[in-house]
């Protein structure tokens, strides 16, 4: 199966660096999660179908975007009177509303808005797009969902949540148990996920996959080399934290529509031809499903520092499900515990990882607390074995040359 890292544009980006730094650049790309437009659409749509099918009530979908602020506080999503009963009023909030009139740039919210519109057309009365307070009351909407593609630092999604939470009617409905708050995202970094879940409204975050970061995918010497590489080649303005992208997150993810600003600067600033110039994905062949799938089992085991398994003979004989089980088990061995963290290390969807984890527990390879058991360690050692080839003794006497006779020395 072809690998996106072998595409000409990627090879050209790697060749821009000095030869001693090229293995470090390849190591950085080995931990990246690549998401095609079809995978983004399929993953978020599965959450929408599940939520609508579970509760049966109407769902209000809101497309996450930047919110205007005053004195650092986000404006309320809905207007409410200054005096008397603070009952929320107003029209539907705009799906896209650039903060600067002179800079009409549309980011990932445009792609998400199209996807939410498709849900509204498919489910009709069950899915509402950007409903107003009156529409929430009239249609008895019970779930308010903010939809985004990615949660990096968590600043933007928290700003949107706060703009909704500042509306007194929403706080009242929530305290009475009339509405529930949700967040749909394809992936989230550990830091961003923790910040969003800690919001006072207690949103339920639904993820398709975990997001790998430089800090979670690499450790020890590999981590130090990558930090030094990102600092040297990423051209940060101030500190090493700036070299890891916005907020020092260091996310290793790229979508078909671009690369988030929380990724290391070296990916979209370094060299004469950056990999994602201006965070735009212009790599030819990036959207091909064959290219986007996990490169190969050997490369994936190597990326999570299981080189012995990558070199073992078992990997050529195992089927796809066995490879996935061993991949998750290897990630558990390197201290990943939750489904989100395992998904970030392996690149597998969160729901699939959860199913594999239950299988590993049934086989007694992983304990209830999420630690690998002695049985699991034995399975990894068995997968790491290399078959010793028997020593072949030549049967033909003419294989080796030796003189048949000797001449007398000349005097």
Domain ranges of the chain: 38-210, 295-386
Range in 39-48, 70-79, 98-107 with the lowest mean pLDDT = 98-107
Region 29-58: what's the mean pLDDT? 86
- Give per-residue pLDDT as tens, 225-257: 898 888 888 776 767 778 888 888 989 998 888
CATH number corresponding to 295-386: 1.10.10.10
Provide the β-strand partners of residue 128.
Answer: 60
Q: What is the pLDDT of residue 289?
A: 44
Q: What is the pLDDT of residue 294?
A: 40
pLDDT tier for residue 285 given thresholds of 50, 70 and 90? low
pLDDT higher than threshold 90 for residue 339: no
pLDDT higher than threshold 90 for residue 382: no
CATH number corresponding to 38-210: 3.40.50
Query: Strands 73-74 and 69-70, how do they pair?
Result: antiparallel
- Give per-residue pLDDT as tens, 387-402: 555 555 556 655 566 6
Q: Work out the percent of the chain whose per-residue pLDDT is above 70.
A: 81
3-state secondary structure the chain: CCCHHHCHHHHHHHHCCCHHHHHHHHHHHHCCEEECHHHHHHHHHHHHHHHHHHHCCCEEEEECCCCCEECCEECCCCECCCCCCCCCECCCCCCCCCCCCCCCCCCCHHHHHHHHHHHHHHHHHHEEECCCHHHHHHHCCCEEEEECCEECCCHHHHHHHHHHHCCHHHHHHHHCCCCEEEEEEEEECHHHHHHHHCCCCCCEEEEEEECCEHHHHCCHHHHHHHHHHHHHHCCCCCCHHHHCCHHHCCECEEECCECCCCCCHHHCCCCCCCCCHHHCCCCCCCCCHHHHCCCCHHHHHHHCCCHHHHHCCHHHHCCHHHHHHHHHHHHHHCCCCCHHHHHHHHCCCHHHHHHHHHHHHHCCCECCCCCECHHHHHHHHHHHCCCCCCCCCCCCHHHCCCCCCCCCCCC
Higher pLDDT, 283 or 43: 43
Going from the C-alpha of 220 to that of each of 233, 300, 334, the distances in angstroms are: 20, 19, 12
The whole-model pTM stands at 0.80
* CB count in 10 Å sphere of residue 103: 7
Q: What is the pLDDT of residue 193?
A: 93
Q: Which residues contact 209 (CB under 8 A, 6 or more apart)?
A: 33, 35, 43, 186, 187, 343, 344, 347, 348, 349, 350
């Amino acid at each position: 199966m072809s690998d996106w890292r072998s595409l000409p544009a990627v090879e050209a980006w790697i060749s821009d660096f000095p030869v001693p730094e090229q293995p470090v650049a390849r190591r950085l790309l080995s931990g990246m999660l690549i998401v095609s437009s079809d995978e983004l659409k399929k993953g978020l749509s599965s959450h929408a179908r599940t939520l609508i099918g579970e509760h049966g009530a109407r769902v209000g979908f809101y497309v996450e975007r930047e919110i205007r602020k005053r004195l650092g506080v986000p404006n309320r999503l809905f207007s409410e009177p200054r005096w008397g009963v603070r009952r929320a009023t107003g029209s539907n909030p705009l799906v896209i509303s650039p903060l600067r009139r002179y800079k009409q740039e549309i980011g990932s919210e445009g792609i998400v808005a199209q996807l939410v519109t498709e849900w509204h057309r498919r489910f009709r009365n069950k899915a509402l797009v950007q409903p107003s307070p009156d529409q929430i009351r009239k249609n008895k909407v019970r779930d308010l969902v903010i939809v985004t593609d990615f949660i990096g630092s968590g600043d933007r999604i928290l700003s949107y949540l706060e703009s909704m939470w500042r509306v007194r009617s929403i706080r009242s409905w929530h305290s009475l148990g009339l509405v529930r708050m949700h967040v749909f995202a394809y992936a989230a970094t550990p830091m961003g996920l923790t910040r969003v879940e800690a919001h006072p409204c207690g949103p339920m975050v639904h993820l398709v996959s975990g997001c790998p970061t430089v800090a979670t995918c690499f450790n020890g010497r590999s981590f130090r080399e990558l930090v030094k590489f990102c600092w040297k080649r990423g051209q940060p303005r101030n500190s090493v934290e700036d070299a890891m992208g916005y907020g020092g997150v260091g996310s290793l993810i790229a979508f078909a529509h671009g690369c988030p600003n929380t990724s290391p600067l070296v990916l979209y600033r370094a060299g004469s031809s950056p990999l994602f110039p201006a965070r735009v994905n212009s790599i030819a062949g990036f959207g091909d499903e064959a290219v986007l799938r996990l490169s190969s089992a050997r490369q994936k085991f190597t990326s999570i520092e299981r080189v012995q398994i990558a070199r073992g003979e078992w990997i050529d004989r195992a089927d796809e499900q066995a490879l996935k089980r061993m991949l998750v088990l290897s990630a558990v061995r390197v201290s990943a515990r939750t489904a989100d963290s395992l998904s970030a290390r392996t690149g597998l969807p969160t729901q699939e990882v959860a199913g594999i984890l239950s299988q590993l527990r049934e086989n007694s390879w992983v304990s209830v607390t999420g630690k690998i058991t002695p049985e699991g360690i034995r399975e990894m050692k068995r997968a790491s074995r290399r078959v010793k080839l028997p020593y072949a003794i030549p049967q033909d006497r003419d294989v080796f040359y030796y003189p048949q006779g000797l001449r007398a020395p000349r005097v």
